[in-house]
Every structure is written in structure tokens, then in C-alpha cells.
Chain A
Amino acid sequence: MKRQIPLALVFVFGLFMIFQYFVPHEKSEWVYEFLLDWILVIGIFALALGIWSLYKVSVDKIRARKENWAYSYVTLFGLFVMILFGFTAPNGESWGLYAVFVTTAILTILMIIQTMVAKSQKGLYLGLAGLFLAASVVIAIFDGAWSFHFYTAEGLQNYWFRAFFDHILIPILSTMFSLLAFFIASAAYRAFRARNLLASLLLISALIVMLRFNPYLQPIMGDYMAKTSNWLMNVPNLAAQRAIVIGIGLGIVATALKVILGIERGYMGKG
């Protein structure tokens, strides 16, 4: 039954989603929208599962002292601090005991993690976690300078949320992405060589498209370079991309049929 029920569900709903597309009836559309709601609900559960998975993987890494385990503390710190900042915001100019609250809340989480990873003194860490939790709850109740905002976007306007997003996340991700420039340059030098006819065609096309982006050459080349580049993008590139898109589309149809008919069972965790 563990296998038959998921297979039957996939078969029934898979077939329904195919046939409803060709049945523009009110009831068919109602069922379709009802199923879409389920997709969203499942998606949100997946988000919660993702957070739990990240927490568990990080804690396991710390516990087993795997390579670079200390960075897992940074991951967990970032995860919980952003959640905390995202749900809280000051009510006025003053921040009150907000800093103390954040510190005690983070220490609570840290002690809970220590309880899970420590090989001894688990009771001590658990006691400390309870102490810090009590302190943060007391501050949250009696400090009127700030409050929780679970249903509004005020937390997203929180100075600290914005500061962490603008001054930590953005530079980190931008730096990672910009490193590509260095590797592309190095790879282009080593790989872009006219070894044969096809490689030469690729090389010339790439040079033309790159030169097309260059404003220095516009006065020299005139419209010729732009026209050639546009032709490359609109004709050979377009033809190749369409072929890829159609190929992918047919592949998706074939895979979907295999899943619906129970031939492909990878989604159940076992092939």
C-alpha cells in the first residue's frame, strides 16, 4: 500500500490535469483551482521543511565536527536573526530594550543548539536556554518600544533587517556573482581557440557579439557590426534556442507520462 497509494494518486491527478485543459467547463475549472490551492499549501510546507532541513544539517555538521563545521553557526545565526528582525519593528523613535531582547533570543537558540550537539552538560545548556528564553519573553511583554508584526511588512522596514540585507547579503551575493568575470576571462583565454571549423565559427560569432556591445567601435563599424550581431542573435541563436525549447518540451511530456504511468518512481525516494 505504501507504493500503490502514491502511484494511484499521481495517476488520477496527473490524468485529470491533462484532460481538464481540454474541458473548459465551470466545474472542471473549479477542481483545477482547488488543486492549485493544494499546490500552494504543499509549497508552503516545503518552505517550513526547508528551514528544518537547513537547521538539522547544520546541527549535525556541528555535532560531527565535520570540515568547516564552525561556519554552520554563522548559517544558523543568519537564519534566526533574519527571522527575528523580519517579525519585529520599533513603535517609535526609541528601540528600548530591543538589543537585549535580540541578544537573549539568540542566546536561547544557541543554547538549544548546544543542547543538541553537546556530548555532556546537556542539562546546563537546557537550563541556560530556559533562562534566556524567560528573559526574552519578559522583555517582549513589558518593553513597549517595539513589538512583533506577524501579519504586516513592518518588520521588512526594520532598520536592522534592511541593514543586514543591504550591507551583508547584497555585497556577498554580488561578490560571488562578479567573480564570474575573472573565471570567464581565464576560461575564454584557455578554451576559445580555433582548433577546427566549428570552434572557429563559435569563436568568430562570440567576438562579433562581444564587439557589438562595445560603444568604442560603433563610430568605426557603423551599423554593420550591429546588424551582423542582431542577425546572429535573431537567426542562428533563435533557431538553436527554439530547437532546445522544443526538445525540452518533448522531454518534459515524456517524463510526465512516465511519472503518471508509474514507470518513473524517483519522486518516491527509491528508483
Chain B
Amino acid sequence: MVHNNVGVIITLLVIAGGLVWLLVRSFRGKEIDRRVIFLFIMVSVAAPLLATITFKFTATPIVEALYDKIEALPEGSTVLLSFDFDPAMAPEVQPMANVVTRHCLEKNIKIVFMCLWATGQGQLEITLDQVLRRDFAHKIDGVDYVNMGYKAGNEGVLNVIVTDFEKMFPTDVNTTPYGDIEILQGVNSCKDMDLIVSFGGGRPGIKEWILFVGDPTGVPSAGGVAAVVAPQLYPYYPRQLMGLLGGIKGAAEYESHFRERHPNHADMDTPAIIMMGPQTIAHIVIIAFIIIGNVLFFMNRRRGARS
């Protein structure tokens, strides 16, 4: 539901007025300059951010599957979260990483963090700052969570950790030896994880996790990816990929679902829900431009047939 009606109405009126004007022009057969399109996109993205338009979302089955899986894990389970993305994907993927990390910590699930992307280490630090160190400061490094850091080697890393985790990660990022890390006692390989979640959108990413780890070991695998990648992962759902957060919409659904069911996190940051405002308005504008483009196309075709 819309929470800021005034902001919505003003934003929609400004954009709708402009679009109607462009539609009228298109009936006269006039093309739209691309700079006008750019201007509309800029307004449709900026205005909802300034007016803070937010919505409440209902989780789709593919998102709810991951939520339910984490919810059903008993306390003390071990979840592997892999940060396989870079700052370019961060606006879409970071909110997913944050909310899933928060959910695991809230459920007292042990987390093993790692990265297959060099830039993932920086993104992981952001999640640790924004979620773990801020709202779960009592969690102990090495006991409740561990940061194994980045390892070069892409699929090669996965091929090794599927049978021997210590071989690839002899220490965590703080050089604590594997054998001295409490959370990893009893964890010999990825087979000992209760759930694997990869956040990314490139290669290596969730697809490689499924092919090299999830499928051969049978460990439930899930992911959070940029919207453009999500359709490519549908063939793996639900047998090989038990849940998927696709783009900012998936992240917003998860945030909304989690906040609703955990009222003690009612005031948590919800970047995905906030970013859905600009995306929603921008989608409406793009749809309007597609309609205007088609009106223009048919008008020109009719004129061509007459002449």
C-alpha cells in the first residue's frame, strides 16, 4: 500500500502531464527526442526518492521459499553466505545480502562468509558494518560467524571446498587457523553446510554454486541476483535452486516479509523497499513510452498507407 499519498500524487501528476503531452504529439506523428526520454527517467527516479514513496510487498513463492527455509533451520545450523558481486550490482544485491544476514543472525544461525569475487570482500565489509556490528554487536567472531574472505580461482575454489574446506581456507581473514575457529568444528566441506546462499549476478555466481556444489552434494542452495540474471536461473528452480531473490523487487519482498514477521526489526533499514519507489515509477514511464512509441508507429503506418 502507498504510505506517502501526497508525494505519490504530486509525482504522478507531474509525470502524467508530461506523458499526455507527448502522447498528443505522437498522434501528430512527432518523434520524441531521446533527451526528453532521459529527462523523464531522471524525474521519475529522483522524485520518488525525494518524496519517499514506499510500498508493502507480498512475497512471491520463490522468495518465500528461502525465507521459510531459513526460518525452519534450527538454532546452531551453519549457513554459507558467499558475496560474489561488485559495486555495480550492489544497489540491487547488497540489500538482499543485508536482510538474509540479518535473518540468519536473528535466528541464531551460524554464518560462514566468503567471496569468489575480489570486490565481494569490500561488499561483505559493508554488510558486516550495516547489520552485524551495528545490530548484533554481541555476536562473537569465530563463534557465531566467521569471515573466510576472498579466494582467487573461481570454479576451482568451489571444486576444492566441495570436498575439503580447510584446504582452500586454512585461515580466516584474521589469520586464525581453521582448527581454532569454533564455528568450523565439524565442518569439513560444503557438505556440512545446512544452506548455501550466493549473492551475485555474474560469473562465478549462483549458477556455478549449483553446478559445482549444490547439485553434487545435495546441500540446499539459494541465491540473490540482479534482476537481469534472474530469468536465466529459473530452469534450476525449485529442485536445484530452492529459492531466489531476483533484483530489487525480490529484496523488497524479503525485507517486507521479514519485517512483518519479526516486529523487533520494525525500524531496520529497508533500502530495497525505498528503491522500489523509483523503480516502480520508472517502469510506468517506460511502459508509457512503449505505448507512445506504438501509437506513433501506427500513426505513421496509416499515413504511409494513405499516401
Contact = CB atoms under 8 A, between A and B. Distances in A.
A186 B88 contact: no
Interface residues of B, number: 61
A44 B87 contact: no
A110 B27 CA distance: 60
Interface string A16-57: 000000000000010001001101100110010000000000
B231 A165 contact: no
Interface string A99-132: 0000000000000000000000000000000000
A178 B195 CA distance: 32
A214 B283 contact: yes
B293 A192 contact: yes
A213 B249 contact: yes
B60 A230 contact: yes
Tell me what chain B mostly uses at the interface: helix, strand, loop, or mixed: helix
B193 interface: no
Interface string B130-147: 000000000000000001
A195 B296 CA distance: 12
Question: How many interface residues does chain A have, given as a range?
Answer: 35 or more
A156 B86 contact: no
Interface string B171-190: 00111000000000000000
B173 A153 contact: yes
Interface stretch (B30-38, B68-76, B96-104, B263-271): B30-38
Contacts of B235: 238, 241-242, 245
A198 interface: no
B37 A189 contact: yes
A48 to B, nearest CB: 10
Interface in B221-279: 231-232, 234-235, 249, 276, 279
B157 interface: yes
19 contacts: A37-B160, A44-B152, A170-B87, A170-B90, A173-B87, A173-B90, A174-B87, A174-B88, A181-B41, A185-B289, A189-B292, A192-B290, A193-B297, A206-B290, A210-B287, A213-B280, A214-B284, A215-B55, A216-B280
Interface of B: 2, 32, 34, 37-38, 40-42, 45, 55-58, 60, 86-91, 119, 121-122, 125-126, 147, 149, 152-154, 156-157, 159-160, 163-164, 167, 173-175, 231-232, 234-235, 249, 276, 279-280, 282-287, 289-290, 292-294, 297-298
Given A43-B152, A216-B280, 14 more contacts: A39-B153, A44-B153, A165-B87, A186-B37, A189-B32, A189-B37, A189-B290, A189-B292, A190-B293, A203-B294, A211-B283, A215-B57, A215-B280, A226-B60
